[in-house]
Amino acid sequence: MRRSFITCVLLAAVAGVGLAAGPAAAADGEVTVFQTELQPLTVYKDPAGCQKLPAAAHVLNNTTDRPVRIYGDPFCLGPSLVVPPGHGSHVAPGSGSFSV
């Protein structure tokens, strides 16, 4: 009985910490996406959450203060590649996304 009470208290504490954290704050800086030479760069200023990449996305440049994750789907699910601040990466054209 005592063990299950302690387990409940610990689970409640962990759940409370998760709720107190709230939604992720936006990153400071920009994520820039190159598509083609005929299109202007797509710039995401202070991005937060999941962002769908443009259809012709080719290169992503992370100049934020946080790592950016690149996904192969539009919903930021599944396997991802981490792009540290100050780095860039090729992205597959189509239906990709990124999150901060």
Neighbours of 88 (CB within 10 A): 17
- Give the C-alpha separation, 28 to 36, whole Å: 26
Q: Which domains does the chain have, with CATH numbers?
A: 24-99 (2.60.20)
The tens digit of pLDDT for each residue in 35-58 reads 999 999 999 999 999 999 999 999
The tens digit of pLDDT for each residue in 11-26 reads 444 334 333 334 567 8
**pTM above threshold 0.85:** no
In the chain, where does DSSP find H-type helix?
2-21
Question: What one-letter code names the amino acid at 67?
Answer: P
The tens digit of pLDDT for each residue in 49-83 reads 999 999 999 999 999 999 999 999 999 999 999 99
Question: What one-letter code names the amino acid at 76?
Answer: C
pLDDT score recorded for residue 15: 39
